[in-house]
């Protein structure tokens, strides 16, 4: 006699064995790349005390019940190891890298899974331009590309849309979107319009033949990057694209604790206006900045997307053993 336990589950991994081997080889290559350059591999918590303030990201929340937390302690799955790694830098770690899981609520699609793998590294003594050169070396190893192209954020908007991102308006960006029959043609502010048009119109054609760095962002999109006093001022930030895929986001890192606190408070105010949760500030990180972050550049790279590009996969699920649908 047999007992039925309901319908059979989809227990098998989605990524095939060849893909799993390719992932293992990529991890080996990346670790060898950094080892040869004297960059220390580190680990930081994936369960953290503070949610992200970034208005475009949402943290997963959980609760710890145990010793020292009689009433329970609210904790969050890390959206990025950035703040903890900068605490290590301030403590004198020197150049560091990390390969870890990151978690972002609400993100799922052809290139998004709510749990994904991130490669993040920091180089004291380098600015964002010098770090771009090192990323070019890493992409040569991982993707076999001979070189990368570079273009400023302003130039790519002028070439593709005929718009200067530093001298535009919501009305003009809405007109550009409407001319292209895009579904969303009403923007809350200039940044929302720029980011929408970048994603919908510009990104798909970026880096088709070889990777491309888009750099010198508007100051309103500086995030954790330094501001350079050009005319107009620009944020020393870059993103890397290949075959229309956003692959990495890097900064010449902001080291001013008061300026960083102001930006976090601006994020919190923006979250309040949008009806989003308003997290407390990470005072340990701000104290580390106040103690002294060395002049450095850093970058976060989506390792799953890098593997997708390496093997020619169309969706992120193809390179994950157990994506959300089979977790």
DSSP string, 46-110: SEESS----TT----EEEEEETTEEEEEEEEE-S-SHHHHHHHHHTT--SEEEEEEEE-TT--BT
Kindly state whether residue 205 falls inside one of the protein's structural domains.
no
Using a 10 angstrom Cβ sphere, with 0-12 exposed, 13-18 middle and 19 or more buried, the burial of residue 139 is buried
Q: What is the DSSP letter of 321?
A: S
Kindly state whether residue 223 falls inside one of the protein's structural domains.
yes
Kindly state whether residue 192 falls inside one of the protein's structural domains.
no
Count of structural domains within the chain: 1
> Residue 235 and residue 228: Cα distance in Å, rounded?
6
- Nearest CA to 305 among 150, 153, 187, 139? 139
Q: Which of 208-235 are b and which e, b meaning 16 or more Cβ less than 10 Å from the residue's Cβ?
A: eeebbbbbbbbeebbbbbbbeeeeeebb
Q: Which of 254-280 are b and which e, b meaning 16 or more Cβ less than 10 Å from the residue's Cβ?
A: bbebeebeebbeebbebbeeeeeeebe
CATH code at position 227: 3.30.930.10
Would you write out the chain's pLDDT as a tens digit for each of its 327 residues? 555 677 788 899 999 999 999 999 999 999 999 999 999 999 999 999 999 999 999 999 999 988 887 788 999 999 999 999 999 999 999 999 999 999 999 999 999 999 999 999 999 999 999 999 999 999 999 999 999 999 999 999 999 999 999 999 999 999 999 999 887 668 988 999 999 999 999 999 999 999 999 999 999 999 999 999 998 999 999 999 999 999 999 999 999 999 999 999 999 999 999 899 999 999 999 999 999 999 999 999 999 999 999 999 999 999 999 999 999
Q: Are 147 and 211 in contact (CB under 8 A)?
A: no
Q: What is the DSSP letter of 117?
A: E
Kindly state whether residue 168 falls inside one of the protein's structural domains.
no
Kindly state whether residue 171 falls inside one of the protein's structural domains.
no
Q: Which domain holds residue 282?
A: 17-148+210-326
Kindly state whether residue 157 falls inside one of the protein's structural domains.
no
Kindly state whether residue 244 falls inside one of the protein's structural domains.
yes
> Residue 267 and residue 277: Cα distance in Å, rounded?
11
Q: Are 241 and 207 in contact (CB under 8 A)?
A: yes
Kindly state whether residue 268 falls inside one of the protein's structural domains.
yes
> Residue 46 and residue 79: Cα distance in Å, rounded?
8
Supply the pTM of this predicted model. Answer: 0.94
175, β-bridge pairs: none
């Amino acid at each position: 006699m047999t007992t039925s336990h309901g319908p059979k589950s989809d227990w098998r991994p989605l990524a095939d064995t060849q893909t799993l081997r390719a992932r293992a080889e990529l991890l080996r290559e990346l670790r060898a790349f950094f080892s040869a350059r004297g960059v220390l591999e580190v680990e930081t918590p994936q369960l953290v005390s503070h949610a992200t303030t970034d208005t475009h990201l949402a943290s997963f929340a959980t609760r710890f019940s145990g010793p020292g937390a009689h009433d329970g302690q609210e904790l969050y799955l890390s959206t990025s190891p950035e703040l903890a790694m900068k605490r290590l830098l301030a403590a004198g770690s020197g150049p560091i890298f990390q390969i870890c899981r990151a978690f972002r609520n609400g993100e799922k699609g052809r290139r998004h899974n709510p749990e994904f793998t991130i490669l993040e590294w920091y180089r004291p003594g380098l600015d964002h331009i010098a770090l771009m050169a090192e990323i070019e070396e890493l992409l040569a190893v991982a993707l076999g590309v001979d070189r990368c192209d570079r273009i400023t954020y302003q130039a790519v908007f002028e070439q593709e849309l005929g718009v200067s991102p530093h001298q535009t308006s919501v009305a003009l960006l809405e007109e550009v979107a409407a001319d292209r029959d895009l579904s969303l043609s009403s923007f809350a502010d200039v940044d929302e319009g720029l980011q929408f048009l970048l994603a919908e119109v510009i990104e798909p054609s970026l880096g088709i033949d070889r990777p491309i760095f888009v750099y010198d962002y508007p100051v309103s999109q500086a995030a954790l990057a330094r501001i350079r006093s050009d005319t107009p001022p620009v944020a020393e930030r870059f993103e890397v694209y290949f075959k229309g895929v956003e692959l990495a986001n890097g900064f010449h890192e902001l080291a001013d604790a008061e300026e960083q606190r102001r930006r976090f408070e601006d994020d919190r105010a923006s979250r309040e206006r949008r009806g989003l949760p308003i997290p407390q500030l990470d005072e340990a990180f701000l104290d580390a900045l106040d103690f002294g972050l060395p002049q450095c550049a850093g970058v976060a790279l989506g390792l799953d997307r890098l593997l997708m590009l390496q093997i020619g996969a169309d969706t992120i699920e193809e390179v994950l053993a157990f994506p959300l649908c089979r977790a």
